[in-house]
Amino acid sequence: MRFLITGAAGFLGAPLANRLIQEGHRVVGLDDLSTGDPERLSPEVHLVRGDVNDRPKLWSLLQEVDCVYHLAARVIVPESVLYPREYNQVNVGGTVTLMEAMRDVGVRRVVFISSGTIYGNQKTQPVRESCRPNPRSPYAVSKLSAEYYIRTIGDLWGIETVCLRVFNAYGPGQRLPPTNAPVIPYCIRQAIDHGTIVVHGDGKQTRDYVYIDDVVDAMSSAATIPDIKRLIINVGSGKETSVSEVIKHVLDITKAKPEIVTNKTHDSGPSRMRADLGLAEKKLGYKPKVSLVEGLTRTIAEDPRFHKDE
């Protein structure tokens, strides 16, 4: 098959592109390299630098493409609170531009990488796809709006659509910005650098942490399964782990003893998050394979940023 991946040089996009190449497919990547790193891509991926809002570029890249994976997005929740217009332009505007270009060229299928953040706080756990979304940030709103555009334009123009609501993905190569870093790479870096780990809230808030290889499995299956019209599917580990437990695992594996400080007044987001995986198993044959301890061990072993002194 021939694929276009938007956001191909990113944390999730690059391993997906490399997996599809390994499976013998042809892959074109589009990425503006605002955060992506082309070095992570196999040389067989044809990477084009460009913006997902560039419709003429999309027209040419979409020729003879069987399926699009749409990952290009701005992805930092606190940043979206400061710059909601930018998040709307890229995450919503970019999705509409892509769908319009797919309609013009006549592409059959799109797999959209949505997010578990659209659920926000939910009383009932694990969360099912049928739960009423409760987005709490411009980022979450942008992902939910993009889902609606994908499904609506898909319906109107006969494009097969699936939205994968990915929960907290982690693994080697995850971005580690100086501020607002995701919990797992942040804790690993602070532990290894003998820094201080700051826990926001009481540390009891849980998330569903899913290893990158499991996410790639789910993404890769979504390209070929039949009957995916308007589908929305959760992708997670099906387990919930508190921030305090993540820290404990990281310290057990690294044998580090960093200082741990709690900042109880900081908003730490929803109190619980756990994905129901019934639909993912039924539709994608998806079963997460990597436990949190194994995934953390692999992340620490395989990510060169955690071995600076060697």
User: What is the C-alpha separation between 256 and 188, in angstroms, rounded?
Assistant: 9
**What is each CA distance from 213 to 171, 216, 236, 274, in whole angstroms?**
8, 5, 11, 18
Supply the minimum distance, in Å, between the C-beta of residue 235 and ligand NAD: 8
Q: Answer yes or no: 83 catalytic.
A: no
The amino acid that residue 32 corresponds to is D
- Using a 10 angstrom Cβ sphere, with 0-12 exposed, 13-18 middle and 19 or more buried, the burial of residue 286 is buried
- Within residues 122-181, the interface with ligand NAD by CB under 6 A covers 143, 166, 168-169, 175
- Within residues 1-60, the interface with ligand NAD by CB under 6 A covers 6-7, 9-13, 30-36, 51-52
By C-beta, is 65 or 258 nearer to ligand NAD?
65
User: What is the C-alpha separation between 304 and 300, in angstroms, rounded?
Assistant: 8
Return the structure tokens found at 33: 């390299």
Q: Judged by CB under 6 A, does residue 62 bind ligand NAD? A: no
By C-beta, is 10 or 154 nearer to ligand NAD?
10
The site that binds ligand NAD (CB under 6 A) totals a number of residues, namely: 30
- How would DSSP label each residue in 95-113? HHHHHHHHHHHT--EEEEE
- How would DSSP label each residue in 205-254? -EE-EEEHHHHHHHHHHHTT-S--TTEEEEES-S--EEHHHHHHHHHHHH
- Within residues 202-261, the interface with ligand NAD by CB under 6 A covers none
By C-beta, is 212 or 247 nearer to ligand NAD?
212
Supply the minimum distance, in Å, between the C-beta of residue 178 and ligand NAD: 15
Which of the residues 69, 87, 119, 139 is marked catalytic?
Answer: 139
Helices (H), 240-290: 243-254, 278-284
Encoded one letter per residue, x for contact with ligand NAD by CB under 6 A and - for no contact, window 77-116 reads -------------x---x------------------x-x-
**Mind telling me the catalytic residues?**
139
Question: Can you give the binding site for ligand NAD, defined by CB under 6 A?
Answer: 6-7, 9-13, 30-36, 51-52, 71-75, 90, 94, 113, 115, 143, 166, 168-169, 175
